[in-house]
Amino acid sequence: MQKLKVFGANKLKGQIKISGSKNASLPILAATLLSNKKIILKNLPKVLDIKTMLDLLKSLGSKIKIKNNQTIIDNTKQKNFFASYNLVKTMRAGILVLGPLLAKYGSAKVSLPGGCAIGTRPVDIHLKAFSRLGVKYKIDHGYVIANAPNGLKGNKIRFSKISVGATENLIIAASFAKGNTILSNCAIEPEIKDLVKFLNKMGCKIKWISKRTIKIIGVKDVKEIFYSVMFDRIEAGTYLIAAAVTEGNLKIQNIIPEVIKTEIDILKKIGSKIITKKNEVQIIGNKKIKNLNIRTAPYPGFPTDLQAQMMVLLCKANKSSIIQEDIFENRFMHVGELNRMGAKIITNGNKAIINGNINFAPAELMATDLRASVSLILAALTAKGKSVINRIYHLDRGYENIEKKFKKVGAKIKRVN
């Protein structure tokens, strides 16, 4: 099993180009199942979750070629509607093929999803919404077995809770439903806006009619398209925090600063100097870090996927801070590892109280999930000496060439078997 050796403490300096968004690519890849024509996608990140989704599409009958950083998907002979546990077990996004398969065939058998052990990911919100489109379903031996004998029929659906996955699944499915569908209390993450943009370019008829409400007019067919996926805002946020925690000076490129305005504003509040340009953000870390209380929330709030990284930064703040985790109930698993490095963090339910003025000490560490893995790298980058991070396969699910990008800006980091 591979591990990372990290030698601190260096100030990061230079430029980092951000990859395509994992969280935008996954629903877009699922949505390609609607098409019987060729689709060319650009800017897919080279990460494990994308490979898993491509393998899932292949298992469903899609023909896929990767050429010159473009992914060509041909579904002319795609006829399978069974998504196996073996392919869905490592990522929650596997459930997103349920919508397009039901829309296309009126039938699907999809394994319940897996992913990081950061909390329950109930699919009941998806299933209740599908039932409003005329879907009958049951869960049997870990599989969702769903049928729409008369095809999907448009309806008014209000999500009981804001859910990124359910919003994506229903947008995709309703694109082929008969008549009109109104979805309200939708998630509005930039990745969902990117999915809508992709589907509309393909010939679907989707329109935002208020902040969290979407109108979808069902279509019967779509066209061949070329599409470039948006940048990864979580990767961008991770490197911004890396610059802040190491008192570095980084230019984060290939991004749209407005999309990560919340993160930029928070980093300014804690003392970082930030200069924004059209497709770039420069961040200069400050030795004095101000304390701050943060709560995670659906977009445009502070993202749960940056909570672990921000916790590392707040360990260096001048006073104590509080992070309230309002998205997942089990997302403080990195706390024990950070405390082993000298942090003083106390958890109480969904709150973490972070005492500041900490100098991290190097240690042997164990990664527990995707974002926790990278938070341990950030802490190790500030610790004088060698840290070793085990179980880094989590990292490869969501960060493209992470050690190469860190090395390029002055980090001493090495992958070993």
Query: How much is the pLDDT for 117?
Result: 44
Residue 14: beta bridge partners?
Answer: 250
Angstrom distance (rounded) from CA 6 to CA 377: 7
Averaged pLDDT, groups of 10, the chain, 417 residues long = 92 98 97 95 96 94 94 90 82 89 95 56 86 95 91 97 96 98 98 98 98 97 97 98 98 98 98 97 97 96 96 97 89 93 96 96 91 93 96 91 97 95
Q: Which fold has domain 3-19+231-416?
A: UDP-n-acetylglucosamine1-carboxyvinyl-transferase; Chain (3.65.10)
What's the CATH code, domain 22-228?
Answer: 3.65.10.10
CA 21 to chain centroid: 7
CB-based contact 343:354 (threshold 8 Å): yes
Residue 68 pLDDT: 86
- Give the pLDDT score at 270: 97
Report in angstroms the alpha-carbon separations of 121 from 12, 233, 286.
Answer: 36, 22, 38
Residue type, 58: K
Task: Name the CA radius of gyration of the chain, rounded.
Answer: 22
Ramachandran region of residue 45, left (φ > 0), alpha (ψ -120 to 50) or beta? beta
What is the distance between the alpha carbons of residues 226 and 46, in angstroms, rounded to a whole number? 19
Instruction: Break the chain into its structural domains and give their ranges.
Output: 3-19+231-416, 22-228
Task: Name, in order, each residue with C-beta under 8 angstroms of 210's C-beta and a sequence gap of 6 or more.
Answer: none
Which H or E run contains 387?
strand 385-390
| Domains 3-19+231-416 and 22-228 fall in the same CATH topology | yes
**Number of helices and strands in the chain (H, E):** 14, 24
Q: Which residues contact 158 (CB under 8 A, 6 or more apart)?
A: 183, 184, 185
Q: Do the beta carbons of residue 402 and residue 239 sit within 8 Å?
A: no
Q: Are 285 and 246 a contacting pair, CB within 8 Å? A: yes
Query: Which residues are known catalytic residues?
Result: 116
- Which tokens in the block code for residue 304? 């749960």
The pLDDT value recorded for residue 372 is 84
Helix axes 261-269, 233-245, angle to 10 degrees: 10
Beta strand spans in 269-409 (E): 273-276, 280-284, 293-295, 321-324, 344-348, 351-355, 364-366, 385-390
